[in-house]
Chain A
Amino acid sequence: MILKGLTWLVLLQLLGNLINLVLLPALPGPIIGMLLLFGLLLLRRSIPESLEKTAALLLQYLPLLLIVPAAGIMTSGSALLDDLPAIAAGLVMSLLITVPFCGWLMQRLIRRLDLKREDQA
């Protein structure tokens, strides 16, 4: 069950890598693979059980898979430390603005849509 789902995921990534090399150098192979899978699911209109199970398993352990590349910080720690004030300011200050702004904008748009639907009803 899991193997079948995994086979699909691996094949779609390989296809994504192929497209990345030949047609779309700007998009990483796994991302192209994800878009292909999303397209396939749209066509199929449902998620096969094997895929559902494999995806749940892999995504559950996503943090484990991410530890290996994240540890690469060992080799780039100095770049981080050099620019730490600029990075911290950029991250925090932009969040102070974008968090309330995104919420406010979405809320406003939802209310407008609700009003429109009421008018039509």
Chain B
Amino acid sequence: MTVLDWRTAWAAVVVHPLFSVALTLIAFQLALMLYRRSGWLVLQPVMVGMLLVVGTLTLVDLDYARYREGASLVAMLLGPATVALAVPLHRHLKRIQQLFWPIVITLAVGGVLSVVLTLAIAWALGAQMPVLMSLAPKSATMPIAMLVAEQLGGLASLAAVFVMLTGVIGTALGPLLLRWAGVDHPAARGLSYGINAHAIGTARALEEGDECGAFAALGMSLLGILIALLLPFALG
């Protein structure tokens, strides 16, 4: 066989839909391994996996549309996974009932403040409309933020990156800021982690304790729903 034959064959393999599936699976597992071995919250599997995929696609010269088509087998499950978020939410039902009003008030005031402040600052510094619309749902957990951004005329992928950045920055600054503010109640710390740093913050909250973790998960899911329900109406 000549070199050219191998190249032609390689080109055919790259455009096979399973190439995209394999690339996604491998990138995810590598990213997960790196995250677990290092223990760094900054090395989010989604972010590292995404970087690996983008790097490989650039290297083998495959465009995103082609990749997305091939990997739709994987991405298709995102919808059912979003529906499944109702299950952990239902599990926290007792805690929601116990502290119903503190949770509702903090979520409403904190959630609105977070969205308004972010948009106001970014807008004042000259960010463009599609960027703002992708920035708006950044406090929601990623699948929700992506869906809402698209609904608002933003970009799902940009929203995903903002959610990751928010989680990483919020988790890095969180312990320090909460100490300054004199917040030591585990439920209050947890809810703030959940509202401001969603899944990554929830991981950090779980390290602080069970109650803290549960309230972070609660804050994350409830704010996600609130954003999904209200943001399209508020900005639409």
By a beta-carbon cutoff of 8 Å, the part of chain A in contact with chain B is 6, 9-10, 12-13, 16, 26-31, 33-38, 41-42, 47, 51-52, 54-56, 58-59, 61-76, 79-80, 82-83, 85-87, 89-107, 109-111, 113
B49 partner, pick from A28, A63, A83, A98, beta carbons under 8 A: A63
Question: 1/0 per residue B175-190: CB within 8 Å of A?
Answer: 0011011111101110
- Specify which chain B residues have a CB less than 8 angstroms from the CB of A105 in the assembled complex: 105-106, 109-110
CB under 8 Å from chain A, chain B span 181-234:
181-185, 187-189, 191-192, 195-197, 225, 228-229, 232-233
Listed in ascending order, the chain B residues whose CB lies under 8 Å from chain A are 24-25, 27-28, 31-32, 44-47, 49-50, 53-54, 57-58, 64, 67-68, 71-72, 74-75, 77-91, 93, 99, 101-103, 105-106, 109-110, 113-114, 117-123, 125-128, 130-131, 135, 138, 142-144, 146-148, 150-151, 155-158, 160-162, 164-166, 169-170, 173-174, 177-178, 180-185, 187-189, 191-192, 195-197, 225, 228-229, 232-233, 236
- Contact in complex: B114, A98 (CB < 8 Å): yes
Q: By the criterion CB–CB under 8 Å, are A83 and B64 in contact?
A: no
With a cutoff of 8 Å between Cβ atoms, the chain A residues found around residue B181 in the complex are 100-101, 103-104
Q: Which of B64, B83, B99, B180 makes the CB contact (< 8 A) with A30?
A: B83
- Hey, which chain A residues are within 8 Å of B150, CB to CB? 28
The interface residues of chain B, by DSSP majority, are classed as helix
Residue ID in chain B nearest A95 by CB atoms: B170
Contacts beyond the supplied A9-B81, A65-B75, A66-B78: 16 A-B pairs with Cβ under 8 Å = A13-B82, A27-B229, A34-B82, A34-B86, A41-B90, A52-B87, A63-B49, A64-B24, A72-B68, A73-B160, A86-B122, A89-B125, A94-B113, A104-B182, A106-B192, A109-B102
Q: Which residue of B lies closest to A54 (CB)?
A: B84
Q: Is the CB of B233 within 8 A of A26?
A: yes
User: Which residues of B sit under 8 angstroms from A34, Cβ to Cβ?
Assistant: 82-86, 225
B155 to chain A, nearest CB (A): 5
Instruction: Flag if B86 contacts A38 (CB, 8 Å).
Output: yes
Q: Chain A contacts of B184 at CB under 8 A?
A: 107
Q: Whole-angstrom distance between the alpha carbons of A28 and B148 in the complex? A: 7
B73 CB to closest chain A CB (Å) equals 9
**Are A26 and B151 in touch, CB under 8 angstroms?**
yes
Determine the distance from Cα of A82 to Cα of B25 in the docked complex, in whole angstroms.
31
Please tell me if the beta carbons of A101 and B110 are within 8 angstroms of each other in the complex.
Answer: yes
Measured between alpha carbons, how far is A105 from B89 in the docked complex, in Å? Answer: 22
Q: Provide a sorted-by-A list of 23 A–B residue pairs whose CB atoms are within 8 angstroms.
A: A9-B81, A26-B233, A28-B151, A30-B80, A34-B225, A52-B87, A55-B87, A62-B142, A66-B46, A68-B74, A69-B146, A70-B50, A79-B128, A80-B161, A86-B126, A89-B125, A93-B121, A94-B118, A95-B170, A97-B117, A99-B173, A103-B188, A106-B185
Is the CB–CB distance between A66 and B121 below 8 Å? no
Residue contact B90 to A38, C-beta cutoff 8 Å:
yes
A82 touches B128 (CB 8 A): yes
Task: Check B185 against A110 for contact (C-beta < 8 Å).
Answer: yes
A38 to chain B, nearest CB (A): 4
